[in-house]
A and B are shown apart, each in its own frame.
Chain A
């Protein structure tokens, strides 16, 4: 058993997670699209905080092999308020081999918070309601994002699918738990803001 497999086994034993073997999350977020069908292996499902989370290792090869440990949760109410929200660790790369001169006008940087922007590149739809974004990124949430999640944590929210991820190849059982808990916390925050907005 490799180091990362041992880490997942330890996490599953500690948290009572159900083994899924290999699971295809589907091309639901940009990172999952990069990987093809969003296949994660090994994969486990369980409760973290208020969320039902699938954790697993995502690996794919473009011009080189990229490895991420990911946590997936659903936030279906978010689509009506924030169809897309990407909070990506500054400096992260997910592809090296393809570039084009023209692209869909599909993102706008969110630059309201200095603390947030020192650590992450935050982007949304170009037509995202800025007032709703300010409510979501409350001072407490910004402070939490800037200080609490694992150092290489990023998340992508797309049409209700939330994917948290870290780049470290083998973060150990504690690191995987921190990833899942951070993703669950983001899901809970987004869900709460949607509920407050009438979703």
Chain B
């Protein structure tokens, strides 16, 4: 997953407006009861924004690592043995894939992987489908699936 421009805008909006709601009523001398209600809403908005920002940062770090594996990994082939989905994120299926990796110099292995995929991609994940894969030379369980 990656945060897009709309995501950045939403995080900024909820973070800044949340902060304003938490502070401004007290600074402007709004009656205490109203100020506390607004402050509570503001804190919740701010915490949601902070959580999303943290999630986005972790996804960015994960993406950077995947880029490294792609640049430095050993190229091979992943054959889909089994595929299914029981959940979605933003209408995109979370696919659970069982794969057989065939990578030069690496013993053949069956591995499982969860991937959030576009609908058209998820529909094509059928047993027998072969996809490129890049395996971390230092950790053969760490790989990037090109789907």
Which residues of A does B touch, CB under 8 Å? 26-30, 32-33, 79-81, 83-84, 98-106, 125-129, 158-159
B119 nearest in chain A by CB position: A33
CB distance from B121 to the nearest CB of A (A): 7
Partner of B121, one of A102, A103, A127, A158: A158
CB distance from A103 to the nearest CB of B (A): 5
Determine the chain B residues whose CB is within 8 A of the CB of A81 once the complex forms. 132
Of the A-B pairs whose beta carbons lie under 8 Å apart in the complex, a sample of 15, sorted by A's number, is: A32-B120, A79-B131, A80-B77, A83-B146, A83-B147, A99-B6, A100-B4, A101-B3, A102-B7, A106-B118, A106-B147, A126-B63, A127-B132, A159-B121, A159-B124
Determine the chain A residues whose CB is within 8 A of the CB of B77 once the complex forms. 80
Bound together, the chains give a CA A100 to CA B89 distance in angstroms of 10
Contact in complex: B7, A101 (CB < 8 Å): yes
Contact in complex: B90, A100 (CB < 8 Å): yes
A30 nearest in chain B by CB position: B120
Contact in complex: A79, B4 (CB < 8 Å): no
Determine the chain B residues whose CB is within 8 A of the CB of A26 once the complex forms. 123
Interface membership of B23, Cβ < 8 A: no
Question: Interface 1/0s, chain B 91-103, versus A by CB < 8 A?
Answer: 1100000000000
Partner of A28, one of B124, B132, B144: B124
Interface membership of B136, Cβ < 8 A: no
A159 nearest in chain B by CB position: B124
Contact in complex: B118, A30 (CB < 8 Å): yes
Main secondary structure of the interface of A (DSSP, over half): loop
A158 nearest in chain B by CB position: B120
Contact in complex: A27, B120 (CB < 8 Å): yes
Contact in complex: A84, B4 (CB < 8 Å): no
Determine the chain B residues whose CB is within 8 A of the CB of A100 once the complex forms. 4, 6-7, 90
B8 nearest in chain A by CB position: A101
Bound together, the chains give a CA A158 to CA B66 distance in angstroms of 22
Determine the chain B residues whose CB is within 8 A of the CB of A98 once the complex forms. 91
Bound together, the chains give a CA A158 to CA B147 distance in angstroms of 10
Contact in complex: B1, A102 (CB < 8 Å): yes
CB distance from B92 to the nearest CB of A (A): 5
A-B pairs, top 9 by smallest CB distance, nearest first, are A101-B7, A159-B124, A105-B2, A100-B90, A127-B146, A127-B70, A101-B10, A33-B120, A104-B116
Partner of A83, one of B55, B91, B132: B132
A26 nearest in chain B by CB position: B123
Known: A30-B120, A159-B129. A104 touches B146 (CB 8 A): no
Bound together, the chains give a CA A104 to CA B119 distance in angstroms of 11
Interface membership of B52, Cβ < 8 A: yes
Determine the chain B residues whose CB is within 8 A of the CB of A104 once the complex forms. 1-2, 92, 116-118
Known: A102-B4, A158-B120. A79 touches B130 (CB 8 A): yes
Contact in complex: B130, A33 (CB < 8 Å): no
Bound together, the chains give a CA A25 to CA B50 distance in angstroms of 43
Known: A79-B129, A100-B90, A102-B4. A128 touches B146 (CB 8 A): yes
Interface membership of B45, Cβ < 8 A: no
Contact in complex: B121, A106 (CB < 8 Å): yes
Determine the chain B residues whose CB is within 8 A of the CB of A84 once the complex forms. 121, 147
